[in-house]
Structure 1
Amino acid sequence: MATFTQADLVGYIRQAAGEDEGFDLDGDIADITFADMGYDSVAMVEVTLLVERELGIGLPDDDKASKNSTPKQFVELVNELLPASI
């Protein structure tokens, strides 16, 4: 994986936190906060821990990985930290 994408993130969200049947994660969600999608702080911790473990990176305690961030911000943060060799 050279670049972490929104599709990658959606897969991790589904695996770690599940999917609200009332919200389409496959839609245009880039600028919608995780809180508005129904994910609380605990869900985002689960997603963050899974991404860190799977990709071998450490995400900072940053607003970009919180329930008040957006998928676009989360993806940008991961890509900033991802080693070029992955």
Structure 2
Amino acid sequence: MSELTLTELTTILRECAGQDENTDLSGADILDKEFKDLGYDSLAMLETAARIQIVHGVVLADDVVVEAATPRELIRLVNQSLGDARP
């Protein structure tokens, strides 16, 4: 399974929160912005985690997902889990 990228994460975030492509999630500068500042609450993050599980097969505990405050943290957690699952 390929690693989660920022581009893929922003697509998933938009889909899970029902936002259109005009929502400003572009650029690497969002990597360290907190999800709450980007307009994502815990429910949106749990939906995002469910979508990541479907696409990548990565299961993250709900509390871990909610505690990931930034896109960088969430990407790191997902990719770390992907790496741990590799033989």
- If the TM-score is normalised by the length of the shorter chain, which range does it land in? 0.7 to 0.9
Number of residues paired by the alignment? 84
Give the corresponding residue for 1:24: 24
Aligned residue runs from structure 1 range 18-57, under 5 A: 18-19=18-19, 23-27=23-27, 28-57=29-58
Structure with a larger share of its residues in helix = 2
* 1:54, distance to aligned residue in structure 2 (A): 1.5
Q: Percent identity?
A: 39
TM-score (norm 2): 0.79
SS of the equivalent of 2:25 reads: coil
Q: CA RMSD in A?
A: 2.4
Separation in structure 1 between the aligned mates of residue 12 and residue 77 of structure 2, nearest angstrom: 15
Give the corresponding residue for 1:7: 7
TM-score (norm 1): 0.80
Which runs of 5 or more residues in structure 2 are unaligned? none
Is the CA contact (8 Å cut-off) linking 1:34 and 1:67 kept in structure 2? Answer: no
Cα displacement string for residues 8-54 of structure 1 (whole angstroms, at most 9, x for unaligned residues): 11111111113378851013200001101111111111111111112
List structure 1 segments (4+ residues) > 2 angstroms apart after TM superposition: 18-23, 60-63
SS of the equivalent of 2:61 reads: coil
Higher mean alpha-carbon deviation, 13-22 vs 38-47, is at 13-22
